[in-house]
Amino acid sequence: MNRRDLIAQFDKLSPYTDRMIERGIETHRKGLFAVKVLDTDGKPAAGVPVKVKLARHEFKFGCSLFLLEQFPDEERNRLYREEFKKLFNYGVMPLYWDTLEPEQGKPRFAKDSPNIHRRPALDIVHEYCRENRIGMKGHCLMYNSFTPKWIPRDWRSLKMLIEKRSREIAERYGSDMLDLDVINEMYTVYRNAHGEFGCRDLPVCDEPGHEKWCFDIAKKYFPYTRLFWNEGCFETFGASQYTGDKSRYYLMLKRWLSEGAQIEGIGMQFHACTSNEASELAVYNPYRAMDIFRLYSEFKLPIHLSEISIPSYSNEAEAEDIQGELTERMYRLWFSQEYVESIVWWNMVDGMAYGGENRYYAGILRNDMSHKKAFDVLDRLINHEWQTEESLVTDENGRAYFNGFYGDYNVTVGEITEERRFHKENTGYYHVTAGPMEQKFIL
CATH of the domain at 133: 3.20.20.80
Residue type, 195: G
Beta bridge partners of 400: 35
**Residue 194: what pLDDT?**
52
3-state SS class at 53: strand
Kindly give the interhelix angle for 286-296 and 317-335, rounded to the nearest 10 degrees. Answer: 40
Higher per-residue confidence, 198 vs 202: 202
CA distance 365 to 343: 17
In a domain, 6, yes or no: no
pLDDT at residue 216 above 80? yes
**Residue 189: what pLDDT?**
60
CA distance 178 to 138: 8
Host domain of residue 143: 60-383
pLDDT band for 192, please (50, 70, 90 cuts).
low
CA distance 115 to 17: 46
User: Average pLDDT of the chain?
Assistant: 94
In a domain, 108, yes or no: yes
Residues 6+ apart with CB under 8 A from 13: 285, 286, 287
**Residue 419: what pLDDT?**
96
Contact of 152 with 158, CB cutoff 8 Å: yes
3-state SS class at 57: strand
CA distance 333 to 118: 30
**Residue 428: what pLDDT?**
42
In a domain, 403, yes or no: no
**Residue 198: what pLDDT?**
54
Contact of 270 with 232, CB cutoff 8 Å: no
pLDDT band for 12, please (50, 70, 90 cuts).
very high
- Going through 21-111 in order, the beta strands assigned E by DSSP cover 30-38, 49-57, 60-64, 90-94
Mean pLDDT for the stretch of residues 208-226: 97
Question: How many domains are contained in the chain?
Answer: 1
Mean pLDDT for the stretch of residues 337-344: 98
pLDDT at residue 272 above 90? yes
Question: Pseudo-torsion of CA 404, 56, 269, 424, nearest 10°?
Answer: -50
Of 292, 305, 315, residue with least CA distance to 373: 315
pLDDT tens profile 390-405: 999 999 999 999 999 9
pLDDT band for 275, please (50, 70, 90 cuts).
confident
**Cα-based angle 324, 328, 329 (whole degrees, multiple of 5):** 120
**Residue 121: what pLDDT?**
98
pLDDT at residue 435 above 70? no
pLDDT tens profile 100-153: 999 999 999 999 999 999 999 999 999 999 999 999 999 999 999 899 999 998
Residue 112 buriedness (CB in 10 A; 0-12 / 13-18 / 19+): exposed
In a domain, 148, yes or no: yes
pLDDT at residue 433 above 60? no
In a domain, 431, yes or no: no
3-state SS class at 317: helix
pLDDT tens profile 16-54: 999 999 999 999 999 999 999 999 999 999 999 999 999
In a domain, 223, yes or no: yes
3-state SS class at 138: strand
**Residue 430: what pLDDT?**
44
In a domain, 401, yes or no: no
Return the percentage of the chain with pLDDT > 90, whole number. 86
**Residue 437: what pLDDT?**
80
Residue type, 168: E
pLDDT tens profile 222-268: 999 999 999 999 999 999 899 999 999 999 999 999 999 999 999 99
Query: Is the omega angle on the peptide bond into residue 140 within 30 degrees of 0, that is, cis?
Result: yes
In a domain, 278, yes or no: yes
pLDDT tens profile 366-391: 999 999 999 999 999 999 999 999 99
**Residue 441: what pLDDT?**
84
**Residue 199: what pLDDT?**
58
**Residue 191: what pLDDT?**
54
